[in-house]
Structure 1
Amino acid sequence: MASAAITLAAEAPKLSSANTGFMLICSALVLLMTPGLAFFYGGMVRVKSTLNMLMMSFISIGIVTILWVLYGFSLAFGSSNGFIGYDSHWLGMSDVGLTDLWPGYTIPIFVFMVFQMMFAVITPALISGAIADRVKFSAWALFVALWLTVVYVPVAHWVWGADGWAFKLGVIDFAGGTAVHINAGAGALGVILVIGKRVGFKRDPMRPHSLPLVMLGCGLLWFGWFGFNAGSWLGNDDGVGALMFVNTQVATAAAMLAWLAYEKIRHGAFTTLGAASGAVAGLVAITPSGGAVSPLGAIAVGAIAGVGCAAAVGLKYKFNIDDSLDVVGVHMVGGILGSLLIGFFATGKGQSAATGVFYGDHSFTQLWKQFAGVGAVLGYSLVASAVLAFLIDKTIGMRVTEDEEVSGIDQAEHAETAYDFSGAGGGLSGGTLATATETKKVDA
């Protein structure tokens, strides 16, 4: 993620309509990813949890949008210290001019703010897949608001703020391997450890109810991810965004193929769920690294992530951790792999001159920086998320009752069901029956 830079007044850039338009399109693409995530997760759960899964993503759009404008953007990207930011002019965005530029770039502050808003929206939504089927909707909404404030905002400042400690250390995270994916994956693990497993975990079948819905969601995520990644350079002036666009496609394809190959060897079949999961694993892994590696490096990043994440998702059964939709195995593990592989595959010809071990950094300088960023974000998010979940659980309660979980969280929490089967499979419907009766009268 490009960050703020201080320039002399004589060198100050002018507003670029091309870059501004490009970033507005990228912002819309990133927003599309959250409904895409909703469909992806919604297809992976059982019928009785479909609407709840969709709503857990959609409510994040509402809550995070408002909080981001009120104070989130100011705390994440304002200048204060290495751990949290602050800019009073950005509280409520009421003191920002239409053509005020993001420092060092050719796009308005409003455009940068809304682009970053979409990142903030999808990050807590990612966590929802890990706790499917068993969480009160009101508790989830409260968790999203608190998690954005306590976890996402500080971590975004560390990684992307001009004075963030990780940014100043030189940790590379082009578009969110640490701030988004490790952050969400570790947060998911923290919540799981507090609220426990679903009723019937490892005993009852919990297969996806709609694989076509999963594939639709995956396609929307893949499409939107080009805005997520290529847009994070904040412009089109030097080709780095184009490199990231290419690497996004290449790594995703490589990860999908690698996951399928692993799946065939281990389980004897190429599954659609595996294809979709592999693609997402590749998207996750290239997110931090795509501006630093070559297309050949992107193939390696994708392939390693495809196999690594495929292997990781099976560990939940070994460790008896109910990560419902494999958020930890895909997003946390994929984010870790993508972030650390920068220390091996960075060419020094992309977003910065930093190189990896395979390109001359035999002192492991960049690799150690990546380890520092990964470890700090993982540890902080895990602990802070667990504490938030614990506090909510001890006050208003995090989980629905066992009866509500068994009968279906959609009906219990939303008074709706995803599919209406009342007129299906039971013979003629009322309208058809009336038509048939009239036909018989005419024939008589």
Structure 2
Amino acid sequence: MRNGTAVIIGAGIGGLSAGVALAQCGWNIHILERAEKIEPAGAGLAIAPNALRGLDTLGLGDGVRERAAFGSGGFRRWTGGWLLTTDAARVRQQFGDTVVVLRRSEVVDLLLKALPPGAVRTGVHGYVAEPGGDSQRARVRVTAEGSRDASEEITADLVVAADGARSAARAALFPDHPGPVYAGFTAWRLLTAPGTAEALGMPDSAETWGPGGVFGLMRLADDAVYAYATDAVPPGGRNDDEREALLARFAYWHAPIPALLKTADPEAVLRNDVWHLPVPPPRSHRGRVALLGDAAHAMTPSLGQGACQAVEDAVTLAHAVRRGDHGVPTALTTYSAARSPRTADIVRQSARAGHLTHMRSGPGLALRDAALATVGRTAPGLFYGMLRATFSWRPPAEAPE
């Protein structure tokens, strides 16, 4: 379909990527964001080769690479020893690209600049009132932030629900779906000032595994550090000073983790409980409404694939509806068939990885660390082989004109 109208609910990485992809296919797009202004929900972002290919189809891959640094150099014990080191050159050789890390805000900025002027409307809620079908357009009810009475209705040929793990659209389409479940751990994220990595003598980016959690240190292009931590704690907790709480939790982990926390701005520390969808929705669409990103497949951050899968969704969706010869509902059936099995598998893998990295049992930890160290020492190819199904994804071929 050319010049159809698409309403996108949510202006995160997935919603913005869908907006760019659909606009490039000739769709008139309207992105609805409930926040008063677009502020990226997070600190840093790792983008794997599969998502970089997706961004390449949008003309944004090189812009991301120019702003990014290489990702993880491997995995360490909480006491400091290396469990497994990764080789960026080998990743590039096998997958055509490597993992890059940059500020989430930089990716959002690139996406916003690639959108048509006036495409994003902030301070409004979008709700699916009617999913539509072959002969009926979908309807979206739009309500201003803070208002219960003032509302309007938009009809659309396509609705993209990119409204997060607690998606109201998903609940409306599939009311019997159980929704998100607490993954068993909470995450903290922060960005330091430029030059921090050099000042702390940080040798390499790495993710450190210890009892009950992880701590990641990712060097950015300007020598700032994107740091993240997780801990197996009950949901809903809060501390008056999250930085001090992290210092207490990780005080005895290897350098430079304690030093970095001591120099970090307390106001820069973000805390979020991790929720995921262990039970996938029956499919990734209904009628003329497509679920995208966390709304379709919220996953733990343990594989670094949340935003990456949202980019894949956006590119696949745009390809499916690029030519509307058989109608949007039929095109979305193709989208669901392409995305649902893949994302359900990655959600399961990510949940397993999250369980593995949050073990507390002494014997279990020893067995886990010994196994990873053995792979790193004797069979590194096995580790890269585990990444193949995820990293080797390629965007669908463009439909002929």
TM-score by length of 2: 0.28
Q: Of Structure 1 and Structure 2, which has the larger fraction of its residues in strand?
A: 2
TM-score by length of 1: 0.26
Task: Kindly name which structure, 1 or 2, has the bigger radius of gyration based on alpha carbons.
Answer: 1
Q: Of Structure 1 and Structure 2, which has the larger fraction of its residues in helix?
A: 1
